[in-house]
Chain A
Amino acid sequence: MLLALLFIACLPPALSVPTCGKDHNDGYQVRLSIKTALGSDAYAWNPSEMFLFRATLAFAMRKVLQAQPFEVSNIVVCNETQRVSFWFIVTSPDDNTTLIPKATVERAVRESRKRINSAFLLSDKTLEFVGIHPTLATPIQPATPTWLIVFGVVMGAVCAGIVALLLSSFVQKRRRDRRKGQGDKDSGRGVTCDGLEGRDGVYNLSFSDDDRLTKL
């Protein structure tokens, strides 16, 4: 009886040792694509790199839950594959058996995402936390949209050109008119010509019609 009771008493703690893996609710899967990101400069994934990962994650947790001193041992990793992918869960520093809920872990990862990425020389795409979508960067919006600036430059040049051409043709026309007006009055040798402005004709005195009917 006592043995049974002892067994029953020992069961819950045994059951509550946190297990990580696919079936666990509070864990996250991580995938790293080091060769894709770095090509020939790729480093090999080894236990030291794993230690760095756990340390970085502990740092991220500390940033979010400032009261609790997370240690490397609080980040439990399992199911490592040669893809380089693994699962991890985060245990509470006060009590090894309690897990930090998924939402808090997600918040921690999101806030320190950039630091985690740069620790491994990777990016959001190549260091993937399955289930945590990266926040999309806001495209930089300059105060004046770029296209309006270019438009302003082009239109300014075109309008200046139009005004210049119109002015020059106007000036040319005036100069031509003025020259035409002067030419009538003075042909350059002191000879003046009168036009037939408004008159029907000039009576030509040298022409007489006396001898129209010749007397035979």
Chain B
Amino acid sequence: MDTAETDGPKTEERPKWDNKAQYLLTCIGFAVGLGNVWRFPYLCQIYGGGAFLIPYLIALVFEGLPLLYLELAIGQRLRMGSISVWNSISPYFGGVGVASQAVSFLVGLFYNTILAWVLWYFFHSFQEPLPWSQCPVIEDQTGYVPECEASTPVNYFWYRETLNISPNVETSGSLHWWLVVCLGAAWCIVYICFIRGIETIGKAVYVTATFPYLVLTIFLVRALTLPGATEGLRYLFTPKWEILENPQVWLDAATQIFFSLSLAFGGLIAFSSYNPEKNNCERDAVLVGCINSATSLYASIPIFAILGFKATSNYNSCLESNILALTNKFDIADQNMTIENYDSWMDYLTEMAPEQVAQLHLRECSLQTFLDQSASGTGLAFIVFTEAVIEMPGSQIWAVLFFVMLFSLGLSSMFGNLEGVLTPLLDLNLVPKWMPKELFTGLICLLSFSVALIFTLGSGNYWLEIFNSYVGSIPLLIIAFFEIVAVVFIYGIRRFSSDIEFMTGRRPNLYWRVCWMVISPLMLLVVFVAYIAVQVQSHPTYPAWDPEYEKFPLPWVQPYPDWVIAICVLLAGVPVLPIPLVALYQLVKFLISRQKRGSRHAPNNPYTNQAFEIKKIIITEEQHFLNIKI
């Protein structure tokens, strides 16, 4: 395809990766993010362990890899950011690029807020003892803070001391200075990595993309030696095959693969546009996709070993408290009744004095119940995991390592988000000439920081969940669908295959073509429709943390008020609005220009050189004058 090289900031040529490793690490870092660590293990757990791998791998092969290959290929061939790429393919599809950019911007806002929270926990991990291990005492030192007593110290630290969360989404509260400061730190760190574009990203990514693997391995080794680790692993991987009959499993597998690979953000297109033209992007795509899924699996092993350890500790403490109560009541000698002989003692005592045993109101201790207490997302990292870390000897080191790992994972994904926002702007020459790139990047970071301040309010966590559910889901599915339609049906699969032959040396084989033409668009459509169907079935609700709730510390599940639902719809709809709008605008422009051309019958014919004719007359006169003279 004829690409008119826009001259813009390209009086210097387009920046390039220093080497292939940087490019691969950046793509892997973008794809491997927080979701690999805290969403995949959760899905694996609730959807029958090993059985979940089947829909997951099917989704990877038929949806994830084809879309990934498509994005990397068009970016590499057209060598432009997302807006310009789609403009080149067809001006009617320019809106797809704008939509990608909008979604990247919105997702970057809340993603970096999560990183701000990770930073907050990281700063506090240096404290001895860890602040989330004990409840704070009230002033006269006679007891603990009641909110903390009713729930757990870990919950209290997260909801009260970190978020200072308001009881519901309508109460906004005020800006919390400590969160603002952490958010500023997070944006500064992102800025310093982004300051010179891929020159600095390429260096930063050597650390941020590899460090998580190192930490995961350390955790793996440590976690497997903890008591109860095998329980957790067995629980995770025991397949429950009957769960595959539930369509929700397939839907979640497809959405997980899709979001996990960070498709439709425009970041992958931008990264591959800095590649040399003849680069084997097929191998890159397969490599990135498989490494992403392998990382998810690899991360779930230490996570679940540690969760198994936590469940076992909780189970043991439950039994210990029961043992203490029984020992005190029946004056049994100390340590005569232990966890090992608990059952035989219980049988004996219930036989001997059932009413007294009943009076004690012993807790029901079941390992299964503790294992079932799963969590995903921020709940996993900031509540469940931090609780597990307290029990591990040397808890500060583990906490520091864990939060640095989370920060690296999130930072490398932020690079892709920001790249999806900046590269189109730079390519469209919207940046004034006098503004150096550093200043422009700084302004974008400052703007994002200011808008993200809403997440530092009292109700910030509720808003973040809203953004996460509505911005980071439906618009991406729509954008991806239009991407694949644009390339396969508008650009043409034949032309695309020739481009790929030019880049990699051979045409794509049957598998890729079938996926692009039929399977992937169909899957996207089905997933999109099913997703919407599931969403509209019930009024959306959210769990609120309200100490006044009578069943506190259980979360109070409340429905969203109507104005919030309107905002949710806006968040899902406005980013994809450019797609029809730009198409409409281009159509109108085309119709107007055709109409204008039709009204003149001597069109702008480039071959009539009117200037030439005028000149000819002048020379003849002069010549006539000279002739007379001579």
Which 5 pairs show the lowest CB-CB distances between chains A and B? A147-B123, A35-B335, A81-B331, A83-B331, A146-B127
Cβ-based interface call for B290 (8 A): no
Nearest Cβ on chain A to B369's Cβ, whole angstroms: 26
Complex: chain A residue closest to B623, CB-CB:
A213
List residues of B (314-370) whose CB comes within 8 Å of A's CBs.
327-328, 331-335
Bound-state Cα–Cα, A190 to B50, Å: 78
**Count of A interface residues, CB-CB < 8 Å:** 34
Query: Interface majority SS on A: helix, strand, loop or mixed?
Result: helix
Nearest Cβ on chain A to B615's Cβ, whole angstroms: 13
**Other A-B pairs beyond A146-B127, A169-B436, 20, CB < 8 Å:** A33-B335, A34-B334, A35-B334, A35-B335, A81-B331, A82-B333, A83-B327, A83-B332, A136-B137, A136-B144, A138-B141, A146-B126, A147-B126, A147-B127, A149-B126, A150-B126, A162-B192, A169-B195, A169-B438, A212-B619
Q: Which of B119, B328, B438 contacts A166 (CB 8 A)?
A: B438
Complex: chain B residue closest to A133, CB-CB:
B142
**Chain A residues in 8 Å Cβ range of B332:** 82-83
Nearest Cβ on chain B to A10's Cβ, whole angstroms: 36
- Complex contact A159–B141 (CB within 8 A): no
Interface segment, B181-189, B268-276, B373-381? B181-189
Bound-state Cα–Cα, A34 to B335, Å: 9
Complex: chain A residue closest to B200, CB-CB:
A165
- Complex contact B436–A173 (CB within 8 A): yes
Bound-state Cα–Cα, A164 to B332, Å: 70
Cβ-based interface call for A65 (8 A): no
- Complex contact A135–B142 (CB within 8 A): yes
**Chain A residues in 8 Å Cβ range of B196:** 165, 169
**Chain B residues in 8 Å Cβ range of A32:** 334
Residues of B at under 8 Å CB distance from A?
119-120, 122-124, 126-127, 134, 136-137, 141-144, 181-182, 185, 188-189, 191-192, 195-196, 200, 327-328, 331-335, 436, 438, 619, 623
Cβ-based interface call for A36 (8 A): yes
Cβ-based interface call for A161 (8 A): yes
**Chain A residues in 8 Å Cβ range of B334:** 32-36, 83-84
- Complex contact A83–B328 (CB within 8 A): yes
Q: Mark A134-165, 1 if CB is under 8 A from B, else 0.
A: 01101100000011111100110011011001
- Complex contact A158–B335 (CB within 8 A): no
Bound-state Cα–Cα, A147 to B182, Å: 11
**Chain A residues in 8 Å Cβ range of B191:** 162
Cβ-based interface call for A85 (8 A): yes
Bound-state Cα–Cα, A212 to B619, Å: 10
Nearest Cβ on chain A to B12's Cβ, whole angstroms: 10
List residues of A (6-34) whose CB comes within 8 Å of B's CBs.
31-34
Bound-state Cα–Cα, A151 to B183, Å: 12
- Complex contact B327–A147 (CB within 8 A): no
- Complex contact A139–B181 (CB within 8 A): no
Complex: chain A residue closest to B333, CB-CB:
A82
- Complex contact B192–A147 (CB within 8 A): no
**Chain A residues in 8 Å Cβ range of B136:** 139
- Complex contact A85–B188 (CB within 8 A): no
Q: Which of A81, A147, A154, A212 contacts B124 (CB 8 A)?
A: A147
Complex: chain B residue closest to A135, CB-CB:
B141
- Complex contact B333–A84 (CB within 8 A): yes
Complex: chain B residue closest to A158, CB-CB:
B188
**Chain B residues in 8 Å Cβ range of A33:** 334-335
**Chain A residues in 8 Å Cβ range of B142:** 133, 135-136
- Complex contact A83–B438 (CB within 8 A): no
A83 and B333 in contact, given A136-B142, A138-B137, A147-B126 (Cβ under 8 angstroms): yes
**Chain B residues in 8 Å Cβ range of A82:** 331-333
**Chain A residues in 8 Å Cβ range of B124:** 146-147
- Complex contact A136–B328 (CB within 8 A): no
Complex: chain A residue closest to B437, CB-CB:
A169
Complex: chain B residue closest to A150, CB-CB:
B123
Bound-state Cα–Cα, A196 to B418, Å: 43
**Chain B residues in 8 Å Cβ range of A159:** 188
- Complex contact A154–B137 (CB within 8 A): no
Bound-state Cα–Cα, A31 to B331, Å: 9
**Chain B residues in 8 Å Cβ range of A212:** 619, 623
Bound-state Cα–Cα, A146 to B618, Å: 88
**Chain A residues in 8 Å Cβ range of B185:** 151, 154-155, 158
Nearest Cβ on chain B to A132's Cβ, whole angstroms: 12
Bound-state Cα–Cα, A212 to B142, Å: 114
Q: Mark A180-211, 1 if CB is under 8 A from B, else 0.
A: 00000000000000000000000000000000
Nearest Cβ on chain B to A153's Cβ, whole angstroms: 10
- Complex contact A147–B188 (CB within 8 A): no
Nearest Cβ on chain B to A133's Cβ, whole angstroms: 7
Bound-state Cα–Cα, A87 to B337, Å: 23
- Offer 30 A-B interface pairs, CB within 8 angstroms, sorted by A: A33-B335, A35-B335, A36-B334, A36-B335, A81-B331, A82-B332, A82-B333, A83-B327, A83-B331, A83-B334, A84-B333, A135-B141, A136-B137, A138-B141, A139-B134, A146-B127, A147-B123, A147-B124, A148-B123, A151-B123, A151-B185, A154-B185, A155-B185, A158-B185, A159-B188, A162-B188, A162-B191, A165-B196, A169-B196, A169-B438
